[in-house]
Amino acid sequence: MNISVIVLGAGKGTRMKSNNPKVLHKISGKSMISHVIDSVKDISDDIVVVLSHQAKRIEDELNREYNNLKFHIQDLENFPGTAGALRGISPRYEKVLILNGDMPLITKESIGKLIEKDGDINLSVLELENPKGYGRVVIENGEIREIVEEKDCSPTQRDIKSVNGGVYCLKREVLEEYIPRIDNSNAQKEYYLTDIIKLAVDDSRVVNPIFVDESEFKGVNSKYDLAVAEEIMQKRIKRELMESGVTMRLPDTIFIDINSQFEGEVTLESGVSILGDSKIVNSHIKSNSIVESSIVKDSEVGPMARVRPESNIIDSKIGNFVEVKKSTLNGVKAGHLSYLGDSTIDEGTNIGAGVITCNYDGKAKHKTIIGKNVFVGSDSQLVAPIIIEDSVMVGAGTTVTKNIKEGSLAISRVKLKVVKDFFYKFFGRG
């Protein structure tokens, strides 16, 4: 489609009270600005992201995710504000869509509504019970007159409940004509893009209000807004997943990152978090377990288990208080209280309660490789790097410090000493 998109992300985001750039704050595992870019990347091949504050950091992060974005650096010092952001940008196409970078809930569908209507400017308008923080849209006889920012409102204007949703679809020539004419005579001494409305209306241009829903056009300015947006996004993600067949017990207690995938018969119990780009296939994740950037297939995990990034849990059972990191378990049972890191464990192997892979020697991480049908007794330590071949038995309480050949028993124990009547000698018979 022949439309240019400009995403505004140069603001300081002071209200966020954070050292990190506002638009990089995450909603459901993805930065706010990436959510915005995702909503437009299919309709435009001319997407310009405006940056300034911590530009390099944001640019680097976006370049890892997308490969055809353009970046424009705003002169924040001389031309602060959302109109200042647009100075010096030359959109390729005659139709231009402008979005704030802090509205992660926006969807392709609502953008469709904004761009389909003809007019010089289509403006997103929200009707809010509590309009606080937004620019008020002054509408007289059904026609938009102007937008007044909250800090510039008269007491009566402050009561207006129609507010600017922060998305604008306009003609390139409208931008070219009015952006240079916008000044900074307002409470914040900033160049407001919102002033374009009055300039256009005064010239009898066609400005259409497009009424939209708050659940998609919420601007995120503070940590509280971030939490509210997160809740809306989570509801959306979980609803879609449940509709596509994922079973969730008490879904309000479950957290799912947007890049996680689910296939087949999946059940998630209460308090579960599925993070990063995890993939869960035909599996049951029990209460209060966390799976991060891992694959779980044909398996049972939890309750209270933690699967850390780069793990593959295939056809396995991971029980309570088991932590797995960067490990592949294929056909394995690890029922209780274990740490399995940087390991590969094969079919038919049983990991007893309290088994620990000692993968770190203080300088580097080392691998543990365990073959098929191995029985690792409870409370054993496997000091990596180490290879335990197929059909090995490790006695409970063993510290394994060298490779064990197929079919062997490995056992390291201090000889058990029993001192008869010691208890009574020590405490007396009282």
Q: Which spans of this chain sit near ligand UD1 (rule: CB under 6 A)?
A: 8-11, 23, 50, 74, 76, 80-82, 84-85, 100-102, 134-135, 147, 149, 163-164, 166, 192-194, 219, 221
Residue 209 partner contact from Ca ion, ligand UD1, none using kind-dependent CB cut-offs of 5 to 8 Å:
none
Contact by Cβ (8 Å): 3, 43 = yes
DSSP letters spanning 80-122: -STTGGGTT---SSSEEEEEETT-TT--HHHHHHHHHS-SSEE
End-to-end CA distance of the chain: 91
72, 284, 336, 366: the catalytic one is 336
Contact by Cβ (8 Å): 179, 83 = yes
> Tokens standing for 137?
């849209």
C-beta of 12 vs 70, nearer to Ca ion: 12
3-class secondary-structure state, position 360: strand
Minimum Å gap between C-beta 226 and Ca ion is 12
Minimum Å gap between C-beta 335 and ligand UD1 is 49
Looking only at the bridges linking them, the beta strands covering 306-307 and 323-325 are parallel
165 binds Ca ion (CB under 5 A): no
Residue 352 partner contact from ligand UD1, Ca ion, none using kind-dependent CB cut-offs of 5 to 8 Å:
none
Q: Tell me the residue number closest to ligand UD1, measured at CB.
A: 135
C-beta of 101 vs 319, nearer to ligand UD1: 101
Binds Ca ion (CB under 5 A): choice among 80, 91, 219, 352:
219
Contact by Cβ (8 Å): 207, 121 = yes
Contact by Cβ (8 Å): 266, 260 = no
190 binds Ca ion (CB under 5 A): no
Q: How far is CA 63 from CA 23, 59, 67, 148, 278, in A?
A: 15, 6, 6, 35, 22
Q: What is residue 176's DSSP assignment?
A: H
Minimum Å gap between C-beta 12 and ligand UD1 is 8
Residue 23 partner contact from Ca ion, ligand UD1, none using kind-dependent CB cut-offs of 5 to 8 Å:
ligand UD1
195 binds Ca ion (CB under 5 A): no
Q: Compute φ and ψ for 141, nearest 5 degrees.
A: 50, 45
C-beta of 138 vs 241, nearer to ligand UD1: 138
233 alpha carbon, distance to own chain's centre:
10
Residue 134 partner contact from ligand UD1, Ca ion, none using kind-dependent CB cut-offs of 5 to 8 Å:
ligand UD1
Residue 147 partner contact from ligand UD1, Ca ion, none using kind-dependent CB cut-offs of 5 to 8 Å:
ligand UD1
9 binds Ca ion (CB under 5 A): no
3-class secondary-structure state, position 47: strand
Q: Compute φ and ψ for 111, nearest 5 degrees.
A: -65, -40
> Tokens standing for 45?
């091949």
Q: Which of 169, 195, 170 is nearest to 84 (CA)?
A: 195
C-beta of 182 vs 256, nearer to ligand UD1: 182
Verify whether residue 35 is a known catalytic residue. no
Minimum Å gap between C-beta 235 and Ca ion is 22
C-beta of 52 vs 294, nearer to ligand UD1: 52
Minimum Å gap between C-beta 90 and ligand UD1 is 17
> Tokens standing for 1?
């489609």
C-beta of 123 vs 345, nearer to ligand UD1: 123
Minimum Å gap between C-beta 189 and ligand UD1 is 11
Burial of 200 (0-12, 13-18, 19+ CB in 10 A): buried
Can you say whether residue 293 is alpha, beta or left, with left for phi > 0 and alpha for psi between -120 and 50 degrees?
Answer: left
C-beta of 216 vs 323, nearer to ligand UD1: 216
Residue 76 partner contact from Ca ion, ligand UD1, none using kind-dependent CB cut-offs of 5 to 8 Å:
ligand UD1
13 binds Ca ion (CB under 5 A): no
Minimum Å gap between C-beta 134 and Ca ion is 8
Residue 131 partner contact from ligand UD1, Ca ion, none using kind-dependent CB cut-offs of 5 to 8 Å:
none
Binds Ca ion (CB under 5 A): choice among 31, 102, 294, 356:
102
β partners of residue 350: 333, 375
Minimum Å gap between C-beta 91 and ligand UD1 is 16
Q: Which of 335, 276, 262 is nearest to 303 (CA)?
A: 335
C-beta of 52 vs 278, nearer to ligand UD1: 52
Residue 135 partner contact from ligand UD1, Ca ion, none using kind-dependent CB cut-offs of 5 to 8 Å:
ligand UD1
Contact by Cβ (8 Å): 67, 47 = no
Contact by Cβ (8 Å): 223, 105 = no
**Binding region for Ca ion (CB under 5 A):** 102, 219, 221
Residues annotated as part of the active site: 336
